Structure 1
Amino acid sequence: MSIIETFSYYLSYPFVQYALIVGVLIALCSSLFGVSLVLKRFSFIGDGLSHVAFGAMAIATVLNFSMQTPFIMIITIIAAVLLLRTGQNTKIKGDAAVAMFSVGSLAIGYLLMNVFSTSTNVSGDVCSTLFGSTTLLTLTKSEVVVCIIMSLLVVGFYIFFYNCIFAVTFDENFMKATGLKAEIYNLFIAVITAIIIVLAMKLVGSLLISALLIFPALSAMRVMVSFKGVVIYSAILSVLGALVGIVLSILFSTPVGATVVVMDILIFLINNFIAVFKRA
């Protein structure tokens, strides 16, 4: 009863409400496109773009930009386009391109924050950016509004182009045969993944973002057999993991990002057990 009362007390604060809203929206968006990324074996793109976002954030911090989020989003989207184009180059394979962008951006970002940062706690700033904020107080009302708008656009795009996303996920050759350009929808998926990653940086950090894309999708695939079933179940599991993780982080003062990821891991293990039980 005391835990419920404590959570009710915290829930009256705007920063807790902001965290819950942003957490649910990010979890929903990441789960939708995470399924396609996993099925297309593009899971690594989330990790690469998250490191690019870290490098862009370091540049924005050093240059003291007042509007950091739009700058980071533009740089990450450009990187997503370049990553897709570079991955199609026969001389540079997709996994090599991701590794090149990932390691390079991470190194440049860390170097800039150490050399040019005016902060007295550079290590703390880097750790907070990589693994998520240790406090929920960092979310502002403007960031929540941006997250709501972008999340609505992402979900709307997914619903409107669901059939095309389904086709490009499973059979690009058939899609091309019907006259649709698979490259455009692959580009859309990469760009929207970049948007989701930038939105999620405040919550889970750049190193943990891939978990939001991968774990709910893998959990749903262990139980469901149809694409639509996997997408819906993945969204439910992702939102549940985000909600429970944020609530636990509030009650027990644990890092938000790490707590949410641990919940996603537990959900995966539970669904893995369910899958084994169903086959028995």
Structure 2
Amino acid sequence: MEIFSDAFFVRALIGGILIGITAPLMGIFLVLRRLSMIGDTLAHVSIAGVALGFLINVYPVGVGLVFAVLASFAIERLRKAYKTYAELSIAVIMSGGVALATFLFTLGKGFNINVYSYLFGSIYTLDRLDLWMVAGVALLVIAVVLLNFKELFLMFFDEDAAAVSGLPLRFYNIMITVLTALVISVAIKIVGALLVSSLITIPVAASLVVARSFRHSVVMAVLFSELAVIGGLILAGVANLAPGATVVLLLIAILMMALVLRKGLRIW
């Protein structure tokens, strides 16, 4: 295909593949913690950082990353303050992120069109710096998950047992939230802030339908994510479609097929 000879498409494909690995890796732990909506929250905060980056003429993805990381610490702080109503932390930070982004939009009318590209994704505009940023975050996430897989498995399936065994639960909770913030902040230019949460949750939802174990669910989540990312980007490139939306629609199709397959196997 001609699209594979274009440098911008190759960069987009590499960036998509890297995010296709890291997003479900974080998603599996967020879903188990019942924090599926944290992706939307951090994405909105990151967009506020992107808007500020354009306003002060500093690398937008970098500023968005800083905002997302700070928001992740704030979420953990609020979750500790509202132990009985931990989901309040997500609602509060999301409200603040949306309000701040809207405020910055009104200050910088000249760059709003650039910010909108981060809302809906602009994977074909990835440059080398963006790609290096995505690669760095991907390597960090993969390394942390591989080195702490047993500890994370124990913590998310039996937190009481993990505490008794001496695991630093607060450290691991903050670590997962910060890594999620990093993934989201570098992914918004690929799939857009409005869709990035889908890449975190939908592959995991599909994997939980067909997986036979926790390890199997992790592998299947990454596999489903990569199938949707690679297939969606190729389809979007050939048919001139919106790449982020195409990827998410393919993810939904995979989820539907997984549900139908499970139902069929039960009937059989």
TM-score by shorter chain over 0.5: yes
Residues 129-144 of structure 1: pairs in structure 2 closer than 5 A: 129-133=118-122, 136=124, 138-144=125-131
In structure 2, distance between residues paired with 1:118 and 1:167: 49
> What letter matches 2:29 in structure 1?
S
**Structure 1 residues 150 and 126 mapped into 2: Cα distance closer, same or farther (>3 Å)?**
closer
Residue in 1 aligned with 2:217? 230
Residue in 1 aligned with 2:148? 161
Are 2:104 and 1:106 equivalent residues in the alignment? no
Residue in 2 aligned with 1:203? 190
- Preserved CA contact (<8 Å) 2:52 2:60: no
Residue in 2 aligned with 1:50? 43
Shift in Å at residue 92 of structure 1?
8.3
In structure 1, distance between residues paired with 2:136 and 2:148: 18
Aligned alpha-carbon RMSD (Å): 1.5
- Preserved CA contact (<8 Å) 1:168 1:186: no
Residues 173-192 of structure 1: pairs in structure 2 closer than 5 A: 173-192=160-179
Are 2:64 and 1:72 equivalent residues in the alignment? yes
- Preserved CA contact (<8 Å) 1:58 1:110: no
TM-score by length of 2: 0.95
- Preserved CA contact (<8 Å) 2:47 2:193: yes
Q: Deviations 1:60-98 (Å, cap 9, x if unpaired)? A: 111111x23222212211110111111121388322221
- Preserved CA contact (<8 Å) 1:58 1:109: yes
In structure 2, distance between residues paired with 1:58 and 1:52: 10
In structure 2, distance between residues paired with 1:231 and 1:91: 28
In structure 1, distance between residues paired with 2:118 and 2:63: 16
162-171 vs 94-103, greater mean Cα deviation: 94-103
Are 2:117 and 1:128 equivalent residues in the alignment? yes
> What letter matches 1:154 in structure 2?
V
In structure 2, distance between residues paired with 1:140 and 1:125: 15
In structure 2, distance between residues paired with 1:153 and 1:108: 29
In structure 2, distance between residues paired with 1:141 and 1:115: 29
In structure 2, distance between residues paired with 1:229 and 1:180: 24
Residue in 2 aligned with 1:271? 258
Residues matched between the structures, number: 267
> What letter matches 2:236 in structure 1?
S
Q: Deviations 1:114-159 (Å, cap 9, x if unpaired)? A: 332324xx3x4443222212x61x1001211221122111111111
Q: Deviations 1:203-254 (Å, cap 9, x if unpaired)? A: 1111111101100001010011200000001111101110011111111111
Structure 2 stretches of 5 or more lacking a match?
Answer: none
Structure 1 stretches of 5 or more lacking a match?
Answer: 1-7
Residue in 2 aligned with 1:5? none
